[in-house]
Structure 1
Amino acid sequence: MTSDWKARLGMVYSTDPDYEYDTDAEPEPETLAPERQELRVWLDRKQRGGKTVTLVRGFAGRADDLAELARMLKQKCGVGGTAKEGEIVIQGDHRDRVVAILTAAGYRCKKAGA
Structure 2
Amino acid sequence: MSRGKKLDLQIGAEFDEGWAQVTEKRASVIVESLEPSRHQLVFHKEKRRGKPVTLVGPFSVSKDEMKELLKTLKKRLGCGGTVNEVFLEFQGDIQTKLKGLLEEMEYRFKRR
Distance 2:58 2:73 in 1: 15
Q: TM-score when scaled to structure 1?
A: 0.67
Distance 2:53 2:103 in 1: 20
Q: How many residue pairs are counted as aligned between the two chains?
A: 91
* CA distance 1:94–1:26, shift in 2 (3 Å): same
* CA distance 1:110–1:73, shift in 2 (3 Å): farther
Q: Is the 8 A contact 1:34 1:108 kept in 2?
A: yes
Aligned to 2:12: none
Aligned to 1:38: 40
Distance 2:111 2:96 in 1: 8
The two structures, once aligned, show a CA RMSD in angstroms of 2.6
Say yes or no: does 1:52 pair with 2:52: yes
Q: What residue ranges of structure 1 are gaps of 5+ in the alignment?
A: 1-9, 11-22
> SS at the partner of 2:42?
strand
Q: TM-score when scaled to structure 2?
A: 0.69
1:63 deviates by 1.3
* CA distance 1:24–1:95, shift in 2 (3 Å): closer
Q: What residue ranges of structure 2 are gaps of 5+ in the alignment?
A: 1-21
Q: Which runs of 4+ in 1 moved over 4 A?
A: 23-28
